[in-house]
Chain A
């Protein structure tokens, strides 16, 4: 534009200059002047053009300026946003959710507790930890809701029960006056019949100081005792201890609860702590169980431990016979009786749910406590005992048991103990009789007159090593048995019996199990006669061994004793063996003395080991 303008100006100047030159030359300028005037028109046009250009430029500028302003505004707002978001982020980072202090369980646990929630288990790898967390929270919420519902329903149930209790109490209460009048009105009848109903039920004041579980047990025992007073398996229960001591203890405990320090030096050693915490309660229950002949008795001392929340029992055996009191081995079996009373209940741990945690809070372990109890002869916490005291238990297999039929379980346990005790007393009497050779010969002769030709010359206790040196299939089949009761809990005692007839000698190795009479004594036989015959190399001896070991309690005739019967079986089997075997020998040492039909039957050449008796006639059969 400026070029056009400058050209027009240049043209104008040229024209003016030309006019001036023509004027000064005095020539005619009219033509030139009109031409120059025309040039002004162009100039004017250009001027207009310029002006329009400027205007449009200005407009454009304005528009751009507006744009810039807009952008700037946006930028500002973005910057503001950024700073706001930054602040928000910091806020978020600093944010503490309320769920962070919730203790959450693992997914699997939720899945197991809420079976319906285990639906989206497939894409577990893809979900982030956050969503996992959310899922867990959700589960937690549901679990809590469930538990809450349960709690509510239990609460209502409890309310109902309380209400029912109240109703029943009221009902019973309403009986009381009627009963009293009945009692009063029948008083003459009581006197006539010499009934002392009102005297018996007055409980001694000391009972109310018993810990609750022991109180329950004691009341049950008392009621059983009243029913059983003329039964053969008698027992007697009593509370041992002084009322005032128990009273003192109660006062002390109350004091301690109120926060008064108890004057006991805080000694560091764990022994002392144990001793202080496991201080025996001044009252305990003593149950005395009599054997049927009333000569022997078993005492059970039952104590309760508030700290362990369980009861323990310690057994003692005593005898009214002076001679047997000092016989060895007599008392060891009482512990075995308690240990094997019920399967898998050896009293080696405290069967109270959650007791480990409570002991941990006191820096104690269950083992320490048990050791302490054992050391001080306080016995062991068997599950059956807790059942009798109505204490809920958890056994080794994590089964929760809360016995409610106390009467039945107490009766059963007492009956079991007295029956086992009876068996053991009989067994130990038999063993003593065999060891000291003062066998009750009359009972033997009566049943076995003239049967036995072999004679028992020796019966001694032997070490386990001596016994294990014997080889028999019977031993192998027991040792490879790892099922059932844990085999190391059953202990054994071993005996060796020697039976002689003529030149033949039989050694018997007897293994007696600590869970007798659940497991019967095992006999291993070895005959020394023309070489050594054992169950390994002779089927005849193996059948003999089977015949001895297969004796069951059910097969026993009344008044027969188990070990003696086994011994007789063994001795007459030995005779039969010698007599049947002797018939084929070149030098006849043993003649047939026993009444039997065939020396051998069956392909196994079975000998007539079986003794049968009909009236006064007896015979041996296969």
Chain B
């Protein structure tokens, strides 16, 4: 099998983000390649143009992405770094503008992954959920690590926060969702969905793959069935019958979008009624991002060589191929000196 085919067949896109201007979409995969899609054509209802590819090197897994002012922030293994994005020329700087190393703990054997980002616009700080069971708060002004939130017993899958209340919500492989506050060192409280017998799925494990919050509710899912929890009472009035492991769950408008290791993504009302069941090509979905301004647009990425575009969040609009649809794509030149 050729290297080119291999990348096409096993492209695993873990992270996506929009630029500040909302004119570009960034998608990063485990081969260390960052794709940039211009949204101008989609906005004008034209067929999308070719993507741009900015390789970060074979050894760099792009685990998560965020965008701050004119920087693309990349979470890889053991470090977070920023790349300058030039909006006019549509070029991502190949030189890292800054780099923050995740501290390696004394008893650690492996370099921790940076699995998830949450960017707090109020305090200009970045929360990074890492493979060493810890969440680090990094200030984007000078790149210092302000504090860490530790208490999880396994690696962090997901970090989200609520800028108004200042609370951080994390989902972890240890099966808990923990709620953290700036004012306390320890966690404020925690939820264990797998302890609730109508949520648990023994075959899938207890881990929490995705968390989302709005002002009143928390949504989480993973090994257990996805469910929503009331933030003050920490009770779960509603669960959703998504039939597979969950890697993505989000409040989208006033409904709930759930995706994971399943060939469909599903959209439910808050009351648990299935609204839409959208077929996707991904073996598993790992990222869904959306916007309502300047136009309604959602992109779902996962373990396949396609981005799935939904313009009204209910029906599949189009699929955008990644490898094989890149400007100036170099044909892999077989290195003959190895074989001849």
| A478 to B6 CA separation, bound complex (whole angstroms) | 9
Given contacts A483-B331, A603-B247, contact A416 B340 (CB under 8 A): yes
Q: Looking at the complex, which of A44-52, A159-167, A320-328, A543-551 is the stretch in contact with chain B?
A: A543-551
Q: How far is the CA of A621 from the CA of B61 in the complex (A)?
A: 15
Contact status of A584 and B205, CB under 8 A, knowing A601-B131, A621-B110: yes
Residue B137 CB within 8 A of the other chain: no
A477 in complex: contacting residue of B5, B110, B202, CB < 8 Å: B5
Least CB distance from B262 to A in Å reads 8
CB-CB under 8 A from A530, the residues of chain B are 203
Q: Is A121 an interface residue (CB 8 A)?
A: no
Given contacts A546-B6, A546-B10, A602-B131, contact A473 B207 (CB under 8 A): no
- A476 to B331: give the CA distance in the assembly, Å: 19
Given A473-B304, A530-B203, A542-B283, A517 and B113 touching (CB < 8 A)? Answer: no
Contacts of B263 in A (CB 8 A): 536-537
Contact: B8 with A477, CB < 8 Å? Answer: yes
Known contacts A420-B339, A519-B2; is-contact A539 B283 (Cβ 8 Å): yes
> B10 contacts A604, CB within 8 Å?
no
B113 touches A604 (CB 8 A): no
Taking the complex as formed, is A106 at the interface, i.e. its CB lies under 8 A from any CB of chain B? no
Residues of B within 8 A of A521 (CB): 1
For chain B residues 200-228, which have a beta carbon within 8 Å of chain A? 202-205, 207, 209, 223
Contact of A584 among B8, B12, B157, B202 (CB under 8 A): B202
Contact in complex: A542, B303 (CB < 8 Å): yes
Q: Are B261 and A538 in contact (CB under 8 A)?
A: yes
Q: Is residue A189 contacting chain B, with contact meaning CB distance below 8 A?
A: no
Does A259 touch B at the CB level, under 8 Å?
A: no
Contacts of A543 in B (CB 8 A): 10, 12
**What B residues does A535 contact at CB under 8 A?**
283
B116 interface hit (Cβ, 8 Å): yes
Known: A522-B1, A549-B6, A584-B204. A477 touches B305 (CB 8 A): yes
Chain B contact residue count (CB 8 A cutoff): 46
Residues of B contacting A542 with CB < 8 Å?
Answer: 10, 283, 303
Q: Which residues of B contact A474 (CB under 8 A)?
A: 1, 5, 9-10
Tell whether, in the assembled complex, residue B205 and residue A419 are in contact, meaning their CB atoms are under 8 Å apart: no
A82 → chain B closest CB, angstroms: 74
Kindly identify, within residues 549 to 606 of chain A, every residue whose CB is under 8 Å from any CB belonging to chain B. Answer: 549-550, 552-554, 584-586, 597-598, 600-605
User: Contacts of B30 on A, CB cut-off 8 Å?
Assistant: 604
Nearest chain B CB to A163's CB is how many angstroms away?
41
Query: For chain A residues 303-317, which have a beta carbon within 8 Å of chain B?
Result: none
Q: Is B266 an interface residue (CB 8 A)?
A: no
A122 interface residue, CB < 8 Å from B?
A: no
Minimal beta-carbon separation of A110 from chain B (angstroms): 37
Within the complex, which residue of B1, B202, B209, B339 is in contact with A603, where a contact is CB–CB below 8 Å? B209
B127-177 residues with Cβ-Cβ distance < 8 A to A are 131, 155, 157-158, 173
Report chain A residues within 8 Å CB of B307. Answer: none
User: Which positions in B face A, CB cutoff 8 Å?
Assistant: 1-6, 8-10, 12, 14, 30, 61, 63-64, 109-110, 113, 115-116, 131, 155, 157-158, 173, 202-205, 207, 209, 223, 247, 261, 263, 283-284, 286, 303-305, 331, 334, 338-340
Given known contacts A473-B9, A600-B173, A605-B207, what 16 new A-B pairs fall within 8 Å (CB)?
A415-B340, A474-B5, A477-B8, A477-B305, A478-B5, A518-B339, A536-B263, A543-B12, A546-B9, A549-B1, A586-B203, A597-B110, A601-B131, A602-B14, A602-B155, A603-B157
On A, residues with C-beta under 8 Å from B are 412, 415-416, 419-420, 423, 472-474, 476-478, 481, 483-484, 517-522, 530, 535-539, 542-543, 545-546, 549-550, 552-554, 584-586, 597-598, 600-605, 621
Q: List 22 A-B contacts (CB under 8 A).
A: A423-B339, A473-B10, A474-B9, A474-B10, A476-B9, A477-B8, A535-B283, A539-B283, A542-B303, A549-B1, A549-B6, A549-B10, A550-B6, A550-B10, A597-B109, A602-B115, A602-B155, A603-B158, A603-B247, A604-B286, A604-B303, A605-B209
